[in-house]
């Protein structure tokens, strides 16, 4: 079976990796360089920011992925020589307004989230700013260094003889024979396949519109800043008022993020930089004297309730989706791509696929 994956972010690359690992011939098509959009721009926390606020559909994917990430990191390091740096630090949520709901969710789901004494937080995270009064903590939460994850995936795919990466090649529409989708058209001609998987992030809706399908996935801008600190400056991830600080192993600290509905404009703004820097200094006052190494923006694939579309599209034989992950593409990628591969290959799915199944009603998905 030949499969064409449209989109070279973490969802597209990991989908290709899973399918190629099962022996399929896979091509990955990206309108730019692979791994340079939302997947590259995110923070890489291997958890939804507030997991108890999401639907069970998101929770099911998140739990499977969180448990799988450490072994994925080890496997990719072995196969590519590039370490994605899956870094288990744990995560403190500070001054939550819905702490009771968070703890009830954790008890119901069997996740190790507990209320902790604030003084123990200040002992564990010495640079934390003053004034916080209560906290909850989950010890096993990791972050992945997403640019390295994408480089590792790209390298692993390039070493597979049944994978072809086609970069800077834009899909402009679909090739159809009767009711079946048999490929895509590009500026350089047609590419044909037995299955076409749309994993184009925020661009998925525009591509599917060429088939008369309306997919409620749209770009949602987010901005981040990166500081350089000592390697041992921040031992744990911390999150307060919707803003978070993530330590990398080498001392870099990511602080994010903003959320704006401004179409496909991903120009970083001074307003966002000032807002993020203020949040960073409130969380970690020593960052007032730290160098801002970089400031950037990316476009998340916004979708209703953040529930991705995973599976075949009814009435369009050969067309499959794995898109619409909103803020949680990196979090949900391992489970989403495993589920896609299970369904496409006719295997027993890792979780119930029903919540993610695309359904066409009046031209809308």
Q: What are 272-284's pLDDT values in tens digits? A: 999 999 999 999 9
- The Cα–Cα gap between 183 and 180 comes to 9
Is the Cα dihedral 292, 141, 155, 221 positive or negative? negative
Contact 9/329 with Cβ under 8 angstroms? yes
- The predicted pLDDT at position 360 comes to 85
Read off the pLDDT of each residue in 74-80 and give the average, rounded to a whole number: 98
Count the neighbouring beta carbons within 10 Å of the beta carbon of residue 244: 24
Start-end of H helices in the chain = 10-21, 38-41, 56-80, 99-109, 118-124, 146-158, 204-208, 270-283, 329-345
- The predicted pLDDT at position 361 comes to 78
- The predicted pLDDT at position 362 comes to 80
- The predicted pLDDT at position 332 comes to 98
Read off the pLDDT of each residue in 70-94 and give the average, rounded to a whole number: 97
Percentage of the chain modeled with pLDDT above 90: 98
- The predicted pLDDT at position 6 comes to 98
> Which residues are paired to 209 by β-bridges?
none
- pLDDT of 204 > 90? The answer is yes
Token pair for residue 69?
A: 């990430």
pLDDT band at 363 (very low <50, low <70, confident <90, very high): confident
Read off the pLDDT of each residue in 40-52 and give the average, rounded to a whole number: 96
- The predicted pLDDT at position 299 comes to 97
Percentage of the chain modeled with pLDDT above 70: 100
- Per-residue pLDDT reduced to its tens digit, 145-195: 999 999 999 999 999 999 999 999 999 999 999 999 999 999 899 999 999
Token pair for residue 55?
A: 């639907």
- The Cα–Cα gap between 357 and 86 comes to 30
Q: Look up the pTM and report it.
A: 0.97
The domains located in the chain, with CATH, are 2-53+148-217+304-356 (3.50.50.60), 91-139+218-302 (3.30.9.10)
- pLDDT of 34 > 90? The answer is yes
């Amino acid at each position: 079976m030949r499969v064409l994956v449209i989109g070279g972010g973490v969802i597209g690359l990991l989908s290709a990796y899973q399918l190629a690992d099962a022996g399929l011939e896979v091509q990955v098509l990206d309108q730019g360089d692979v791994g340079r959009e939302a997947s590259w721009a995110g923070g890489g926390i291997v958890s939804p920011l507030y997991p108890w606020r999401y639907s069970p559909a998101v929770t099911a994917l998140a739990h499977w992925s969180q448990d799988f990430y450490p072994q994925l990191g080890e496997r990719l390091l072995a196969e590519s020589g590039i370490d994605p740096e899956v870094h288990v630090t744990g995560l403190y949520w500070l001054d939550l307004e819905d702490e009771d709901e968070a703890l009830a969710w954790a008890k119901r789901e069997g996740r190790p989230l507990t209320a902790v004494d604030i003084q123990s937080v200040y002992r564990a995270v010495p640079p934390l700013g003053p004034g916080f009064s209560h906290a909850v903590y989950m010890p096993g939460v990791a972050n992945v260094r997403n640019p390295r994850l994408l480089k590792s995936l790209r390298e692993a795919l390039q070493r597979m003889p049944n994978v072809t990466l086609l970069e800077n090649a834009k899909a402009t529409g679909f090739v159809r024979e009767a009711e079946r989708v048999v490929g895509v058209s590009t500026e350089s001609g047609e590419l044909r396949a037995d299955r076409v998987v749309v994993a184009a992030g925020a661009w998925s809706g525009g591509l599917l519109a060429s088939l008369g399908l309306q997919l409620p996935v749209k770009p949602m801008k987010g901005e981040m800043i990166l500081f350089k600190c000592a390697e041992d400056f921040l031992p744990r991830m911390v999150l307060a008022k919707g803003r978070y600080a993530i330590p990398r192993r080498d001392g870099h600290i990511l602080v994010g993020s903003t959320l704006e509905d401004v179409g496909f404009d991903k120009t970083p703004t001074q307003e966002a930089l000032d807002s993020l820097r203020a949040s960073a200094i409130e969380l970690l006052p020593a960052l007032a004297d730290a160098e801002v190494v970089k400031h950037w923006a990316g476009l998340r694939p916004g979708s209703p309730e953040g529930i991705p579309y995973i599976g075949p599209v009814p009435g369009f034989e050969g067309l499959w989706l794995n898109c619409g992950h909103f803020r949680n593409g990196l979090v949900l990628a391992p489970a989403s791509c495993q589920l896609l591969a299970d369904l496409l290959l006719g295997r027993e799915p890792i979780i119930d696929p029903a919540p993610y199944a695309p359904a066409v009603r009046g031209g809308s998905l």
